[in-house]
Structure 1
Amino acid sequence: MAATSTMDVSLFHHTPFYCEENVYLLCKKLCSDGIANSEGSDLFVAFISNDKKHIPLWNQKASQRADGVILWDYHVICIQTNQGGGLPLVWDLDSTLPFPSPLPSYVSETIRPSFQLFSDYNRLFRIVHAPIFLRCFASDRRHMKGSDGHWIEQPPPHQPIVAQDGTVHNLNEYFNISSSDATADVRTGSVKDALFTQKHGVVIKENQLEELFSQISLQ
């Protein structure tokens, strides 16, 4: 079942600059609390980045600007489909928007497709089915250590996430997103097959996000 009203974001774990681990724990909590299906089949993890590792997103808590815009190297959110025919919901722990937000309003307020960007700033989305992500994702947080071995940002208090097969780090496989990997047409059956079977999901362009989730909801 999808949530139908906003929730208190403070009930969910959040460590600044560790959005991938925050979303991992978010998915687990949504499942355990009965807000999502117990196995997370209605949840999808979305890594947002591009070839240049420069993606502008609006209404972000970490921003120092009035419009909330910030330039991330990558960001991670959770998108929940609504089996009852309602709009998909976006769970973004770093957003100032309602938590969760309907996908169309999240796109218009955070992605702002009407805002003309240079091509270097166009956002790509790697969409991974949550049950696969929860089994396969791993991070030992090495990306947050400087060359001197010290933490660039303080890590979460919980133990690093290890994949079911024992892998200790594969975060880079998820946030390295290239425009050459983007699918041309999200309406094909092969895209939906890949989404529900492939470890790294599918890569789409920002203008395909709502269309992909409208296709998923038709299943």
Structure 2
Amino acid sequence: MTTSAIEQSSLDTSCFHHTPYYCEENVYLLCNKLCTDGIADTDGSDLFVVFISNEKKQIALWHQKASKRADGIVLWDYHVICIQRRRGGESPLVWDLDSSLPFPSPLASYVLETIRPSFQLFPDYHRLFRIVHAPVFLRCFASDRRHMKDPDGKWIAEPPLHEPIVAEDGTVHNLNEYFTISAADANDASIYSAKEAVFTQKYGVVVEENQLEELFSQLAIQ
């Protein structure tokens, strides 16, 4: 099925693994499934994992299923989505298993509805985006889920049933390096340098909110 056909008829999110509050592992498995099901390139080269957070670990996103409000707004400490670049100048697609928007959604629509850049937020809620090329992420990411335990070692939220994810080099936990994001990380990241570095850097590149769509327009497959 082509990505154009997917966009016209949204997929059922129930076809994908989802454990609440473990968005990083959900996206890891989603990337693998998109590759094996032929929806993405077999090596994941058209996929990018995007961590959204800030120094305060307080980000506002709309149209989230976990919200109890009509507008779907949630204040997350961090969130993780997958963005798929496309050929021929078509809009990239956003895969967000926690969103109530069509699955997947065009990036432009997702930004407008979920990020809402025109909505004036307090500085503490300013959002930053760490973009990691999926082939790199799938090799390097690891989580033993320690971030989901309280000081007594009890689960804050029940973990996934599958085994914790271990990186190819044997690393058992580096999630913090992905979701720890500060404005200083993005200060020197021009779009040109970011589009070159995103394919090689273990922890990807960090861009500002107003750079996200521009970066993916530069990453478009011809």
TM-score band (shorter)?
over 0.9
Indicate whether 1:59 and 2:73 are aligned. no
Alignment partner for residue 146 of structure 2, among 129, 142, 145?
Answer: 142
Contact 1:186/1:211, CA 8 A, preserved across alignment: no
AA in 2 matched with 1:202:
V
TM-score, normalising length: structure 2? 0.95
**Could you tell me which residue of structure 1 aligns to residue 98 of structure 2?**
94
After superposition, give the CA deviation of every residue in 1:37-57 in whole Å (9 maximum; x if it has no partner): 000000000000000000000
Alignment partner for residue 198 of structure 2, among 174, 195, 200?
Answer: 195
Contact 2:49/2:132, CA 8 A, preserved across alignment: yes
Distance of aligned partners of 1:185 and 1:160 in 2 relative to their CA distance in 1, 3 Å threshold: closer
Where does structure 1 differ by over 2 angstroms across 4 or more consecutive aligned residues?
A: 1-5, 183-187
Identity, % of aligned positions:
72
Indicate whether 1:21 and 2:25 are aligned. yes
Deviation at 1:160, TM superposition (A): 0.2
Deviation at 1:91, TM superposition (A): 0.2
Contact 1:55/1:123, CA 8 A, preserved across alignment: yes
Contact 2:85/2:221, CA 8 A, preserved across alignment: no
AA in 2 matched with 1:156:
P
TM-score, normalising length: structure 1? 0.97
Indicate whether 1:212 and 2:211 are aligned. no
| Alpha-carbon separation, structure 2, partners of 1:9 and 1:218 | 26
SS of the counterpart of 1:196? coil
Give 1:63-212 correspondences, 5 Å limit.
63-184=67-188, 186-188=190-192, 190-212=193-215
| Alpha-carbon separation, structure 1, partners of 2:24 and 2:7 | 24
Deviation at 1:186, TM superposition (A): 3.7
Aligned residue pair count: 218
| Alpha-carbon separation, structure 2, partners of 1:174 and 1:187 | 20
SS of the counterpart of 1:56? strand
Indicate whether 1:34 and 2:34 are aligned. no
SS of the counterpart of 2:135? helix
| Alpha-carbon separation, structure 1, partners of 2:132 and 2:86 | 17
